[in-house]
Amino acid sequence: MSMTETHAPSEQQAETEALLDVRNIEVIYNSVILVLKGVSLQVPKGGITALLGGNGAGKTTALKAISNLLKSERGEVTKGQILYRGERVQDLVPSELVKRGVIQVMEGRHCFEHLTIEENLMTGAYTRRDGRARVEEDLDLVYTYFPRLKERRRSQAGYTSGGEQQMCAIGRALMSRPETILLDEPSMGLAPQLVEEIFGIVKDLNEREGVSFLLAEQNTNVALRFAHRGYILESGRIVMDGAAADLRENPDVKEFYLGMSDEGRKSFRDTRSYRRRKRWLS
Partner 1 sequence: MPDQVLFALEVTINGLMAGVLYALVALGFVLIFKASGIFNYAQGVMALFAALTLVGIMEGQVPFEHLINATFGTGIHGFGWQVPAILAIVLTVVVMVIFAWVVNWLVLRHLVGQEPIILFMATIGLAYFLEGLGDMMWGSDIRTLDVGLPQGINTLVDQVTFDAFGYGLFIDNLDISATIIAIVLVAALVAFSQYTKEGRALRAVADDHQAALSVGISLNFIWVLTWSIAGFVALVAGIVWGAKSGVQFSLSLIALKALPVLMLGGFTSIPGAIVGGLIIGVGEKLFEFWVGPLVGGATENWFAYVLALVFLVFRPQGLFGERIIERV
Query: Is the four-CA dihedral 36, 41, 47, 48 of positive or negative sign?
Result: negative
Do the beta carbons of residue 73 and residue 51 sit within 8 Å? no
Please tell me the distance from the alpha carbon of residue 167 to that of residue 199, in angstroms, as a whole number: 11
29 is a contact residue toward partner 1 (CB under 8 A): no
Please tell me the distance from the alpha carbon of residue 3 to that of residue 181, in angstroms, as a whole number: 26
**Of the ranges 27-35, 45-53, 95-103, 206-214, which one interacts with partner 1 (CB under 8 A)?**
95-103
Query: Exposure of 49 by Cβ count < 10 A (0-12 exposed, 13-18 middle, 19+ buried)?
Result: buried
16 is a contact residue toward partner 1 (CB under 8 A): no
Do the beta carbons of residue 141 and residue 219 sit within 8 Å? no
**Residues binding partner 1: what is the number (CB under 8 A)?**
37
Could you say which of 39, 52, 77, 105 contacts partner 1 (CB under 8 A)? 105
Could you say which of 83, 115, 188, 239 contacts partner 1 (CB under 8 A)? 115
Query: Exposure of 7 by Cβ count < 10 A (0-12 exposed, 13-18 middle, 19+ buried)?
Result: exposed
**Of the ranges 52-60, 83-91, 98-106, 227-235, which one interacts with partner 1 (CB under 8 A)?**
98-106
Binding mask 193-232 for partner 1 (x = CB under 8 A): ----------------------------------------
**DSSP code of residue 58:** S
Could you say which of 73, 151, 204, 207 contacts partner 1 (CB under 8 A)? 73
- List the interface residues with partner 1, window 174-193 (CB under 8 A): 176, 189
259 is a contact residue toward partner 1 (CB under 8 A): no
| Shortest separation between residue 72's beta carbon and partner 1, angstroms | 5
**Nearer CB in complex with partner 1: 119/196:** 119
Strand locations in the chain, DSSP E?
18-29, 33-44, 48-52, 75-84, 87-88, 102-105, 180-184, 212-217, 229-234, 237-243
* Strand (E) or helix (H) holding 4: none
| Shortest separation between residue 218's beta carbon and partner 1, angstroms | 18
Is beta strand 75-84 parallel, antiparallel or unpaired with respect to 18-29? Answer: antiparallel
Which residues, including other chains, have CB under 8 Å from residue 211's CB and lie 6 or more apart?
174, 178, 179, 180, 181, 205
| Shortest separation between residue 179's beta carbon and partner 1, angstroms | 14
| Shortest separation between residue 135's beta carbon and partner 1, angstroms | 10
| Shortest separation between residue 173's beta carbon and partner 1, angstroms | 7
Give phi and psi for 56, each to the nearest 5: 75, 10
20 is a contact residue toward partner 1 (CB under 8 A): no
- List the interface residues with partner 1, window 117-176 (CB under 8 A): 119-120, 122-124, 126-127, 156, 158-159, 161-162, 172-173, 176
112 is a contact residue toward partner 1 (CB under 8 A): yes
Contact footprint for partner 1 (CB under 8 A): 67, 69, 72-74, 93-95, 97-99, 103-106, 110-115, 119-120, 122-124, 126-127, 156, 158-159, 161-162, 172-173, 176, 189
